[in-house]
Amino acid sequence: MGRAFLPVHSSWNGVLDPLASQIEKIFESISEVEIAPSLDRIFAACEMDVNRVKCVIIGQDPYPTRGNAHGLAFSVSPEVRPLPASLKNIFTELASDLGIQQPVSGDLSPWKDQGVLLLNRVLTTKVGESNAHANMGWQEITTQIAQAAASQGAIGVLWGKSAQELSHLFTHKIESVHPSPLSAYRGFFGSKPFSRVNLELERRGVSPIDWSL
């Protein structure tokens, strides 16, 4: 269905097709402004087969800096330097949790390739402005995406209030404050989300995620 669905795996059609008119309405509303991520990357999180989703990491909205966002929550294009502060904090916790070296690249695509759905609550923003599209109606659409993954047994990794609005969808969830500099020291650091996801996957007899990048 139209340009919006170019990167979407066919397994999501049953989720997104009923929402097509709402998505088109949002596209019409944002068509006159420069958006992040680019149009062809808005649904990049759904390039993966929904049946392969092991866990869902839910973000808030895309990075507003031009060239940073590429459709995966918390991730940036490989060439982006310096890394956004929230992503640096995620990597600090990753290294602390698993004892691995902090990644240099902020591209989280290898996580997606292993079954991690990196989903923002709001899928677009205006370049240069955070939360510019918070009232466009994206939340209803991303709730349906998260619901589809949760119904397959995916683990919810919910950082911050926006993500925790979807807590009720997940049977197994790992929750903490958001990794932003404003809150990371109030419970994100030390929360060990990566090892906890893998412990639950192993308990189920499912192969763990290699979180190294």
Q: How far is the C-alpha of 111 from the C-alpha of 59, rounded, in Å?
A: 15
CA distance 105 to 94: 14
Residue 12 contacts residue 49 (beta carbons within 8 Å) = no
Closest of 14, 2, 5 to residue 46, by C-alpha: 5
> Burial of 159 by CB count in 10 Å (0-12 exposed, 13-18 middle, 19+ buried)?
buried
Closest CA to 210 of 191, 186, 194: 194
Does the active-site annotation cover 40?
A: no
The catalytically annotated residue of 17, 49, 61, 113 is 61
Q: Which residues are catalytic?
A: 61
